[in-house]
Amino acid sequence: MTHWKNGTYFGTLVVFDDPMTVGKVLPVAGVEPAERAQGFYFYDKLESYTSWFGFSIVFNSTAHKGTLNLVGADLMDDKTQDLSVVGGTGDFFMARGIATLCLDASKGTVYFRLQMDIKLYECYV
């Protein structure tokens, strides 16, 4: 990753495909999780760490099938960040709402875990 002299990663794009879990329990080895977060973020400010997210939560379980699509700025200095739920497919067709993210754990710049609270205000089933 490119690290600027001022200590930011401005312009760096990160693509992810991560399992999602309930609580802080790690996924069981060899078992595909019912949900995954798939998308990207990029660092978009020269003065400090901030990023912009665009990703889908992909559901593949007996309870839910489909996606929720989220976008928005992650102002990393704030305790919580709100991302917009801008759509969805399957059980979440045309969903609208807010996803509030909170940093749950981190190890420097190589690992972080987010806690997510999603409130849907509109969803056609």
**pTM assigned to the model:** 0.82
Nearest to 59 by CA among 84, 95, 28, 83: 95
- Written as six digits, the tokens of 38 are 């798939």
pLDDT tens digits along 38-64: 999 998 877 777 889 999 999 988 888
Q: Which residue has the higher pLDDT, 71 or 124?
A: 71
**pLDDT of the residue at 37:** 94
**pLDDT of the residue at 3:** 56
- Written as six digits, the tokens of 54 are 């665009």
Dihedral angle of Cα 61, 114, 83, 121, to the nearest 10 degrees: 50
pLDDT tens digits along 1-41: 555 666 678 888 889 998 888 777 776 677 777 799 999 99
Q: What angle do CA 70, 74, 93 make, to 5 degrees?
A: 5
Residue 45 backbone dihedrals phi, psi, to 5 degrees = -145, 135
Contacts for 15 with CB less than 8 Å, ≥ 6 apart: 39, 40
**pLDDT of the residue at 72:** 94
